[in-house]
Amino acid sequence: MKKRDALKSLAALGVLAVTLGGLTACDKKSKAVFQGVDVTGAEYARDFSLPDQDGKVRTMKDFAGKVVVVFFGYTQCPDVCPTSMSELAEVKRALGADGERLQGIFVSVDPERDRPEVLKAYMANFDPTFVALLPTPEQLAAIAKDFKIYYKRVEGKTPTSYTMDHSAGSYVYDPQGRLRVYERYGSGAQVLLADVKALLAE
């Protein structure tokens, strides 16, 4: 009887070991390898609460289930901003049906000139689903600090011909709303596409 009990105990331990081994294997998630800068676990740029081009206050929760790409710029930017937004639109097209799971967000660093109607027209040039956020000067200062971005007005020949120096990278969030990747300006659409695909596949 004791021998039978001992065998039962060994069998039970064997089943437990197999079960735990299976659980351990299931718990291990394959860590995505990004082509941009991996900032997983960053303590900054976690969220925002700003009005969009229609006056609706938006937060990261509004885009749950999507990979979100946040870019700071202004509509009168001559090169960096239209290039970045065009690449983002290109990535969305390249994703095919999964393009619906990508959300582009443009945060204006020029609230003086980027009025709602201007931002609506600007977004329409790239993709009608892209959202523009229009902070007040005070909100802009706060979100710039939180996202660690730089912006500065550079005066022109006339009061309205000024330009804006600003950070040109993009922040990429996974479908759970967590900041995961920082894409440097100039990396190109293919780098962003690869990282978006990696996040969608997690």
Q: What pLDDT score was predicted for residue 31?
A: 75
CB burial of 14-47 (b: ≥16 within 10 Å; e: otherwise) equals eeeeeeeeeeeeeeeeeebebbbeebeeeeebee
Q: What percent of the chain has pLDDT over 90?
A: 84
User: What is the C-alpha to C-alpha distance for residues 5 and 14, in angstroms, rounded to an integer?
Assistant: 14
The 10s digit of each residue's pLDDT in 115-163 is: 999 999 999 999 999 999 999 999 999 999 999 999 999 999 999 999 9
Q: How many residues does the chain have?
A: 202
Maximum separation of any 2 CA atoms in the chain, in Å:
99
pLDDT at 168 over 80: yes
Where residue 11 falls among pLDDT bands split at 50, 70, 90? very low
pLDDT at 93 over 80: yes
Asked if 169 and 181 touch (Cβ cutoff 8 Å), the reply is no
Q: What pLDDT score was predicted for residue 32?
A: 83
C-alpha distance from residue 138 to each of 53, 109, 122, 170, 189 (Å)? 18, 11, 23, 22, 32
pLDDT at 103 over 80: yes
Q: What pLDDT score was predicted for residue 4?
A: 46
- The least confident of 11-15, 60-64, 86-90, 95-99 is 11-15
- SS3 helix, strand, coil % of the chain, rounded to 5? 40, 20, 40
**Average pLDDT, stretch 24-51?**
81
Q: Residues near 49 by Cβ (< 8 Å), separated by ≥ 6?
A: 57, 58, 59
Q: Could you please report the per-residue DSSP string of 14-58?
A: HHHHHHHHHHHHHH-PPPP--SSEE-TT-SS-----EEBTTS-EE
Q: Which of 71, 104, 79 is nearest to 90 (CA)?
A: 104
User: What is the C-alpha to C-alpha distance for residues 198 and 1, in angstroms, rounded to an integer?
Assistant: 56
